[in-house]
C-alpha cells in the first residue's frame, strides 16, 4: 500500500514538474501534448494550470485505466508487428507456384521414369505442383489480410481508449474551471 502511494505521488510530481518545465521553456503543455485545448476560465496562471493538468492526468489514468503515453507505445509496437507479420505472410506466398511446380515435376519425372514415360510424369507433376503452389499462395494472402485486419482492430481499440481518456481528462479540467476540448 505504501509503495503504491509513494509511486503515485512520485508520478504526480514528475508529471507536474514536466508540465511546468514544458510551459516555462516554451514547449507544449501536458494538455496540448495530449491533443487537448485547455483554457483557464477562472484566471489560473501557467503554474496553476500545469498543476491542474498533472492532477487531472493522474485522475484520468486512475479512472480509465489508460495511460496515453503507454498506449501510444503499444500502438507503435502493434503497427510494427503487423507490418512484419504481413511481410512474412506475403513472402511465404511469393514464388509458391514455381517452387511447387518444380518439385512436382521432379517427383513426376521419377514416377514417370519408373512407369516408362518420364516426360509425361514430369508434366503431370508440374501441373499438380502449380495447383498446390497457387493454393499455398492464396492461403498466405488470406493470412496477410487477417493479420492486417487484426492490426486495424487493435488500432481502433487504442483510438477508443484515447478518446475515453481525453473525455475523462477534459471532465476533470472542466471541474477545475477550465474550458477543455479535444
Same-domain pairing of 55 and 100: no
In this structure, the answer to whether residues 98 and 148 fall within a common structural domain is yes
Tell me, yes or no, whether 149 and 175 share the same domain.
no
Give me the pLDDT at residue 124, please: 67
- Who wins on pLDDT, 79 or 59? 59
Rg of the chain taking only CA atoms, in angstroms: 29
Specify if 86 maps to a domain.
Answer: no
Count of structural domains, the chain: 2
Whether the pLDDT of residue 84 is over 70: the answer is yes
Answer yes or no: do 146 and 175 share one domain.
Answer: no
Do 64 and 105 belong together in one domain? Answer: no
Same domain, yes or no: 108 and 156? yes
> Per-residue pLDDT averaged across 51-63, rounded?
98
- Identify whether residues 129 and 152 lie together within a single domain: yes
Mean pLDDT computed over 55-83: 93
Q: Read off the C-alpha cell for 113.
A: 521414369
77 is a domain residue: no
Burial 108-146 (b: 16+ CB within 10 A, else e): bbebbeeeeeeeebbbbbbebbbebbeebbeebeebbee
CA dist list (Å): 66 to 21, 57, 79: 24, 10, 19
Q: Are residues 118 and 153 in the same domain?
A: yes
pLDDT at 24 over 80: no
158 and 172 housed in the same domain = no
What does the pLDDT read at residue 16? 46
The pLDDT score that the predictor gives to residue 126 is: 64
> Across 83-87, 89-93, 130-134, 162-166, which has the greatest mean pLDDT?
162-166
Which range marks the domain in which residue 48 is found? 2-69+168-181
pTM, two decimals, is 0.62
Which pLDDT belongs to residue 62? 97
Amino acid at each position: 500500500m505504501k509503495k503504491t502511494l509513494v509511486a503515485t505521488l512520485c508520478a504526480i510530481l514528475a508529471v507536474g514538474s514536466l508540465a511546468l518545465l514544458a510551459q516555462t521553456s516554451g514547449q507544449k503543455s501536458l494538455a496540448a501534448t495530449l491533443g487537448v485545448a485547455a483554457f483557464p476560465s477562472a484566471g489560473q496562471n501557467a503554474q496553476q494550470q500545469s498543476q491542474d493538468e498533472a492532477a487531472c492526468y493522474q485522475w484520468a489514468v486512475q479512472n480509465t485505466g489508460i495511460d496515453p503515453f503507454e498506449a501510444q507505445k503499444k500502438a507503435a509496437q502493434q503497427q510494427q508487428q503487423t507490418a512484419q507479420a504481413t511481410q512474412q505472410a506475403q513472402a511465404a506466398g511469393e514464388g509458391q507456384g514455381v517452387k511447387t511446380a518444380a518439385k512436382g515435376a521432379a517427383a513426376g519425372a521419377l514416377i514417370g521414369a519408373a512407369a516408362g514415360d518420364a516426360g509425361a510424369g514430369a508434366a503431370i507433376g508440374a501441373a499438380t505442383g502449380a495447383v498446390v503452389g497457387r493454393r499455398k499462395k492464396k492461403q498466405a494472402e488470406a493470412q496477410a489480410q487477417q493479420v492486417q485486419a487484426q492490426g486495424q482492430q487493435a488500432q481502433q481499440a487504442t483510438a477508443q481508449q484515447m478518446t475515453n481518456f481525453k473525455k475523462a481528462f477534459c471532465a476533470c479540467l472542466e471541474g477545475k474551471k477550465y474550458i477543455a476540448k479535444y
